[in-house]
Amino acid sequence: MSEEASDASGDPWGRYDPPAVAEADLTPLPDTFARIVAHFETGEELVVAGGDRSSVPGSADLPEVAALVAAGWHPLPTGLEGGEVALLPAVWPPEHRTWVPDRLPRFGFVSYGGEDFFVEPARESADHEHWELARTARSVGLAPPPLGRLWLLRSPWPSLRISGLLWLVRQVRDDDQLGWDSVALMRAAQRVLAGTEEEAWARWRGPRATAAKAWREQRRDGPDIDRWIDLGLGPAEVKALTAPVAEGGAGLTAETIPRWCEAVCFGDPCEDVVERARAWRRAGLSADAPVGRLASVMVDHQPDEVGRWMAEGFTVVDIADWDARDLPRAMGWRAAGFDAREARELLLADPTLTPDEARSFDEAGIEPARRVRWVAAGFSATAAREWTDLDVVASEARVWRSLGLGPHEARAQHAAGARGHLPVGFESGWAAFGSDRDDVSFGVADPPGTRGSVAAEQSMVVWGEPGVVPPDFGDPAPDGLDA
């Protein structure tokens, strides 16, 4: 390394430091990334079934990065997730940082309200990310970072691995109230790195620190141990979580433990993780259950409450759809032939709806996707059929109803040659548009006593009355989203 490259004050980013793997030596992009790039080029959808983002590759799946990780290096995240750590390379000891050419496709995730996530190109380009980072660097007197690098760091201390060291840096940032941005984390890193190895161990506290110290006592470390430390699990906790239920353990496997920790500890390490997992396993949850779906249920309910649902034959997905509320009603809807998600959607549209009323829409030939719209708008199955025959959807039927008009008047309008979906002369004061006609929300009032969530949401304000002005929500929402 040249003197210029190692001089942190003159070249904090090691601009002239060579990469750990030269670009000419890189192997072809792995198929997982090549598939993402191909989908972006064709405009096709790439689905991550079940919302399991962990199956989507990251920088550690690049061969050159994977080899460095095996040697003790830690890749820094990129994109929005990398903002927090973006300035760390500039203050890290040069001999404990390295980089490889950045050839990682930029992508993100979007969910349309279901279980699946869709992989999409990142909202911001790599150039925009660099521009923002360069501005931040200049604001604290640093030179802008070099373009096109994936950074990797390692710990300068043998007994404290990099993943634990980064958790300590975050703790110091919070303890010293340095802020929440990349500058705050950089300053916290400078304070930690200015101390000694033992000072770092002494300052680090919390479930992760306790776990790390327990593994240190056993002289065990490495990537496999790092993942337990990230979860706040020491040797005793891992042993208890994997022990059979009959022997007082939780009966989990190494593969299922992370999902369970995420669910029962609500995303952060907790000291009673073993007891929580045991309690839910005793309640009947299987070790391989999709417990991530129950995370919100676990916040509000005790294991024995959920156990009653499982005793009645409801699945984890069913319980999550019902949010573990009103077991007798859930049983009634199931007996009527409705699955949990379908029933919950209908009851969110109208909490007073009965299974017989919902079934009457099927008998009237209204497709399920439209049925919930008619229920939310407060129409009966008979009225929905009449309006559907006139090619009028629920949101449009609300307009006719608000003016005291019904299917008879709509037929008369059509007979007179005016075949619009809305009454002739109707002028909406405002509307929120979407990709479907039923996504349009007109500023009209529902008659008193109208059932359904649409009327309930608008019961406090009647848009269209003299003197009532709709609020200014700023820029219009993107297609498919109500403002």
Q: Determine the 3-state secondary structure of 99 from DSSP.
A: strand
Q: How far apart are CA 173 and CA 185, in angstroms?
A: 6
Asked whether residue 38 is domain-assigned, the answer is: yes
Tokens of residue 334, six digits: 């199931």
Asked whether residue 334 is domain-assigned, the answer is: no
Amino acid at 137: A
DSSP percent split of the chain into helix, strand, coil, nearest 5: 50, 5, 45
Q: Is the dihedral of CA 314, 316, 318, 319 positive or negative?
A: positive
pLDDT at 468: 39
Strand partners for 107:
121
Residues 22 and 130 in one domain: yes
Q: How far apart are CA 229 and CA 213, in angstroms?
A: 9
Tokens of residue 323, six digits: 């949010």
Q: Is the dihedral of CA 408, 413, 417, 418 positive or negative?
A: negative
Q: How far apart are CA 473 and CA 471, in angstroms?
A: 6
| Count of structural domains, the chain | 2
Residues 143 and 290 in one domain: no
Residues 137 and 285 in one domain: no
Strand partners for 368:
none
Q: How far apart are CA 233 and CA 432, in angstroms?
A: 49
pLDDT at 432: 58
pLDDT tens sequence for the chain (483 residues):
333 333 445 789 999 999 999 999 999 988 888 888 888 888 777 776 655 555 567 888 899 999 999 899 999 988 767 789 999 999 999 999 999 999 988 877 666 555 667 777 777 777 788 888 899 999 999 999 999 999 999 999 999 999 999 999 999 999 999 998 999 999 999 999 999 999 999 999 999 999 999 999 999 988 889 999 999 999 999 999 999 999 999 999 999 999 999 999 988 899 899 999 999 999 999 999 989 888 889 988 999 999 999 999 999 989 999 999 999 999 999 999 999 999 999 999 999 999 999 999 999 999 998 999 999 999 999 999 999 999 999 999 999 999 999 999 999 999 998 878 899 988 765 555 556 788 888 878 899 999 999 888 764 444 444 433 433 333 333 333 232
Residues 2 and 150 in one domain: yes
How far is residue 269 CA from its own chain's centroid?
19
Asked whether residue 225 is domain-assigned, the answer is: no
Residues 149 and 263 in one domain: no
Residues 267 and 140 in one domain: no
How far is residue 326 CA from its own chain's centroid?
27
Single out the residue in 154, 189, 215 at which a domain terminates.
154
Residues 2 and 148 in one domain: yes
Single out the residue in 292, 309, 325 at which a domain terminates.
325
Asked whether residue 13 is domain-assigned, the answer is: yes
Residues near 296 by beta carbon (within 8 Å), at least 6 away in sequence: 320, 323
Tokens of residue 188, six digits: 């916290």
Alpha helices in 7-158 (DSSP H): 31-42, 63-70, 88-91, 126-139
Q: How far apart are CA 439 and CA 258, in angstroms?
A: 39
Structure-token match 């989908």, residue found: 39
A 10 A CB-CB count for 31 gives: 10
Residues 7 and 149 in one domain: yes
Residues near 386 by beta carbon (within 8 Å), at least 6 away in sequence: 407
Tokens of residue 33, six digits: 């990334």
Q: Comparing C-alpha atoms, which of 135, 166, 149 is closest to residue 13?
A: 149
pLDDT at 112: 57
Single out the residue in 154, 185, 216 at which a domain terminates.
154
pLDDT at 474: 35
Tokens of residue 361, six digits: 């829409």
Q: Determine the 3-state secondary structure of 55 from DSSP.
A: helix
Tokens of residue 327, six digits: 């077991």
pLDDT at 355: 96
Asked whether residue 145 is domain-assigned, the answer is: yes
Burial of 272 (0-12, 13-18, 19+ CB in 10 A): exposed
Residues 131 and 272 in one domain: no
Residues 265 and 142 in one domain: no
Specify whether the CB–CB gap between 230 and 161 falls below 8 A. no
Residues 135 and 13 in one domain: yes
pLDDT at 126: 75
Specify whether the CB–CB gap between 73 and 89 falls below 8 A. no
CA distances from 104 to 22, 57, 272, 388 (A): 15, 10, 38, 50
Specify whether the CB–CB gap between 320 and 300 falls below 8 A. no
Asked whether residue 222 is domain-assigned, the answer is: no
Domain that holds residue 275: 241-325
pTM for the model stands at 0.74
Q: How far apart are CA 215 and CA 229, in angstroms?
A: 8
Q: Determine the 3-state secondary structure of 412 from DSSP.
A: helix
Asked whether residue 412 is domain-assigned, the answer is: no
Q: Which long-range contacts (CB under 8 A, 24 or more apart) does 120-127 make?
A: 121/40, 122/79, 122/80, 124/79, 124/80, 126/102
Q: How far apart are CA 316 and CA 175, in angstroms?
A: 39
Residues 5 and 122 in one domain: yes
Q: Which long-range contacts (CB under 8 A, 24 or more apart) does 381-386 make?
A: 381/357, 383/407
Asked whether residue 69 is domain-assigned, the answer is: yes
Q: How many residues does the chain have?
A: 483
Residues near 339 by beta carbon (within 8 Å), at least 6 away in sequence: 318
**What is the edge-to-edge ordering of all strands in the sheet holding 46-48?**
46-48, 117-121, 107-110
